[in-house]
Structure 1
Amino acid sequence: MERLQKVIAQAGITSRRKAESLILAGRVKVNGEVVKTLGTKVGERATIEVDDVPITKEAPVYYVLYKPRKVISAVKDDKDRKVVTDFIDEEEARIYPVGRLDYDTSGLIILTNDGEFSNLMMHPKSKIKKTYIAKIKGKPSRETLKQLAKGVQLEDGKTLPAKVSFKSGNKQNDTSIIELVITEGRNHQVRRMLEAVGHPVLKLKREQYGLLTLETMQPGDYRPLKPIEVSRLRELAVT
């Protein structure tokens, strides 16, 4: 027996939190009866409907994709631009990206049909480290690097402490390469942090997510995650 909201999330319909909202709104039926009680447990043979559409209990799948630039972190786009799911067309499950990378940002992104896993990865309390390499305008001073490390005040609050490393500089082009390791996942966070300290991002790439890296991968490449990797990511999210 599993909790109803967990079964809905694992079917790839939505996150567990949103599944709870669907239940409370009376949009979920179990064996033909509307269920509004959170925590209701259902068996494997139960027929579950969301908005009168039966859900399919798909086996959970997990992929890591090296997202190229100029690709949308979504399952579809109203402007008919390329989206991350276009790269894994052989998968029949309804997969979707965990979080997002900006249109102009490349790098590592996870795709899955496991709503519970996705919600865990994106939870505000998750402390999974995400490593970015940024090409920026200008050369940051030591004081600026310390400021980034301690936290930058943005319009939605001060960022958590980060690990910041200066990698290289190009005097001729007045640009620098720096590495940032953060645990948060705010929208456009790295770009906003660097903009706030006077060094706009020219190019951005996410190179690592927890234990996952882009080693041996090229833009557009993907691979399924190993069970041990999925388990380790779950552990990292709650430690």
Structure 2
Amino acid sequence: MNNKPVRLQKFLAMAGIASRRKAEEFIAAGRVKVNGTISTAMGQQITPGVHKVLFDNKRVEVREKLIYILLNKPKGYVTTLSDPQGRPIVTSLLPGIKERVFPVGRLDLDTEGALLLTNDGELAQSILHPKFEVHKTYEAEVKGLPSEQTIRSLEKGILLDEKKTAPAKLRIIRKNNRNSVIIITIHEGRKRQVKKMFQMVGHPVQSLKRLAYGDLGLDNLAIGKFKILTKNDIKRIFSKKNPLQTKK
């Protein structure tokens, strides 16, 4: 770690506290101190090794060892590092992992599937920032059978919370008289976006599972299990290939 000045939120990301965007929220909330004083200035420059930075009154230091994990999250777990309601948290599913890691984005309590965790705030920022257009693919079981016109409208984008959604890819893989199972790929990260999209077109989601980030899928990873990712795995996250959308 060099001792060049960096912005406070970037330093927090480098230390694995959270993505830069989330770190800015922590700063605004008064949870970060620099040399004993609460800092709420987003542009503040600090020098690692010179300035003493505390997050929630605990010393923040940049870790040299970065770790990247893919977890097949079960339903019933929250994607936060603590929960005031006492619900189980996803990091409890990582036995043997000594590094402090955080989830990249979130999955709802009742949603399962692929969840990235890391202590690399810079990578997390790249995955979450809309400009990088990281594709996320989900399997959604929805009520009813959406018409071809409805599918096309979802693919082109619909008005959601007064803003049009970006183009998406959808493919119906199973259907019966009551429900349909649809593979949907999006690259935005709006809160509960997939659920809201289907709700808006009259086909509420019955169950939801994230299958992949980019070209990095769960493969044979069992529910509740995790694996350490390699450099090649990380590259696959940013791949624009989408084998899950290929019709067989």
User: What TM-score do you get using the length of structure 2 for normalisation?
Assistant: 0.82
Partner of 1:187: 191
**Aligned: 1:42 with 2:47:** yes
Q: Is contact 2:213–2:237 with CA below 8 Å preserved after alignment?
A: no
Which secondary structure does the structure 2 equivalent of 1:194 belong to? Answer: helix
How far apart are the structure 1 equivalents of 2:181 and 2:38?
Answer: 56
Q: What is the Cα deviation at residue 37 of structure 1?
A: 9.2
Q: Is contact 1:106–1:205 with CA below 8 Å preserved after alignment?
A: yes
Structure 1: any 5+ residue segments left out of the alignment? none
Partner of 2:201: 197
How far apart are the structure 1 equivalents of 2:102 and 2:42?
Answer: 28
- Assess, with a 3 A threshold, how the Cα gap between structure 1 residues 126 and 83 changes in structure 2: closer, same or farther: same
How far apart are the structure 1 equivalents of 2:46 and 2:38?
Answer: 14
How far does the alpha carbon of each residue in 1:176-198 deviate from its partner, in whole angstroms, 9 at most, with x for none? 11111101111111011001111
- The number of aligned residues is 231
Letter paired with 1:189: Q
Q: What is the Cα deviation at residue 160 of structure 1?
A: 0.7
Alignment of 1:228-239 (within 5 A): 228-231=232-235, 233=237
Structure 2: any 5+ residue segments left out of the alignment? 241-248
Partner of 2:138: 132
- Assess, with a 3 A threshold, how the Cα gap between structure 1 residues 141 and 17 changes in structure 2: closer, same or farther: closer
Partner of 1:102: 108
Runs of 4+ in 1 over 6 A off after TM superposition: 32-37
Alignment counterpart, residue 208 of structure 1, candidates 200, 204, 212: 212
Partner of 2:153: 147
Letter paired with 2:169: K
Q: Is contact 1:10–1:60 with CA below 8 Å preserved after alignment?
A: no
Alignment counterpart, residue 158 of structure 1, candidates 158, 164, 187: 164
Q: Is contact 2:155–2:167 with CA below 8 Å preserved after alignment?
A: yes
Which secondary structure does the structure 1 equivalent of 2:76 belong to? Answer: coil
Sequence identity of aligned pairs in percent? 36
Q: What is the Cα deviation at residue 17 of structure 1?
A: 4.5
Letter paired with 2:126: L
- Assess, with a 3 A threshold, how the Cα gap between structure 1 residues 53 and 133 changes in structure 2: closer, same or farther: closer
The CA RMSD measured in Å over matched residues stands at: 2.8
How far apart are the structure 1 equivalents of 2:22 and 2:207?
Answer: 34
The answer to which of 59-68 and 118-127 deviates more is 118-127
How far apart are the structure 2 equivalents of 1:102 and 1:28?
Answer: 31
Which secondary structure does the structure 1 equivalent of 2:131 belong to? Answer: coil
